[in-house]
Amino acid sequence: MLRVGLLTSGGDCQALNATMRGIVKALVNTSAEPVEFYGFEDGYQGLIYGRYRRMTPRDFSGILTRGGTILGTSRTPFKLLDVPGADGVDKVPAMISTYRDLGLDCLFMLGGNGSTKTANRLAQEGLNVIALPKTIDNDTWGTDMTFGFTSAVEIATKCIDDIHTTASSHGRVFVIEIMGHKVGWIPLYSAVAGGADVCLIPEIPYDMDNVIAAIERRMDSGARFTIIVAAEGALSREEAALSKKEYKKRVAARTSPSIVYDIANEVERRSGRETRVAIPGHTQRGGAPDAQDRVFATQCGVEAALACLDGAFGCMIGYVDGAMKRIPLEEVAGKLKRVDPACDLVREARALGISFGDA
């Protein structure tokens, strides 16, 4: 008998269910022995407190197109992993105990950077763990793609598309906040796909003089409107020069809901152009996965199942240079994949006339 556990950790995304379906179907179809499935509720919290349910393949049927996660999810910060909770529970020993009490042969963890760090810690403690790269931000190290990313880009792009018509009708500047606290993959891809005029991402600090100049160039050419896509973690050059502590202090002192309001206010004040803000927010995490996500999530699930059957634990399933790979967890844990300011897509976006506010 093969006993496996599944959990989804961190922020939700559209293709978590599709990935779990891939794991379960591949194990059922390829395992030489019967398989028992245990689903842990609300991420690592379920593993810590023994909140799980015995599941059958039927529980994973019909969920390929369903967004979110049927197991529920939560955030368990890695930096607090060795700090007992308010209830006094030691998290790591509790997770190990639950794993061993169930007699699991493998734990499949679907999560992003922080969750992968915890998965690596559990692997170092002797548990058989396989991680799968979940995040809409596409910022997991060691893989060219994460599931959730293309669906989020699709939603962000739809927002930009829709804003074009109202911006054009009224001759306004719109600042659209796209998810990306530390990295700018979604803003970058959606800005190109949606035909934005300015794209502000954390990896390329902007100067407001350059943003205003880009707006004026458009207006001088006869354009009625300007679309600015800004990552929620967009940084000015001044902010980028601050220490981490100083930057956090500045963010804490901010009186506006987010940086896009500050950008919009400054644009309107300096350019004299009527300026509005649009925030698609958590819709970028919601809804059904797009076709690309369904395919990639299924691939990840199948490859994770095959790795389990091969006894290849302590790895993350990734996509590298056009092929599915098993990457050691220790190589990816704690690392962030940022946008390279010199990458092809940035270079191509500049050639299209998209300003990043740095020149």
Q: What is the C-alpha to C-alpha distance for residues 75 and 337, in angstroms, rounded to an integer?
A: 20
Contact in structure between 200 and 234 (CB atoms under 8 Å):
yes
Q: What is the C-alpha to C-alpha distance for residues 132 and 151, in angstroms, rounded to an integer?
A: 17
The strand order across the sheet containing 35-40 reads 52-55, 35-40, 2-8, 106-111, 129-133, 315-320, 323-328
Classify residue 222 as exposed, middle or buried by CB count within 10 Å of its CB (0-12, 13-18, 19+). Answer: exposed
State the catalytic residue, choosing from 12, 137, 139, 197. 137
137 is catalytic: yes
Contact in structure between 139 and 1 (CB atoms under 8 Å):
no
DSSP assignment string, 169-226: HHT-EEEEEES-SS--HHHHHHHHHHT-SEEE-TTS-B-HHHHHHHHHHHHHTT-S-E
Which residues are bridge partners to 226 per DSSP?
173
Alpha-carbon separation of residue 149 from 239, 250, 254, 284 (angstroms) = 27, 30, 29, 9
Q: State how far Cα 348 lies from the chain centre.
A: 23
Q: What is the dihedral of CA 113, 137, 319, 14, to 10 degrees?
A: 100
DSSP assignment string, 121-165: HHHHTT--EEEEEB-TT--BTT-S--BTHHHHHHHHHHHHHHHHH
Which has the closest alpha carbon to 182: 113, 228, 119? Answer: 113
125-157 as b/e: b if 16+ CB within 10 A: eebbbbbbbbbbbbbbbbbebbbbbbbbbbbbb
Catalytic residue set: 137
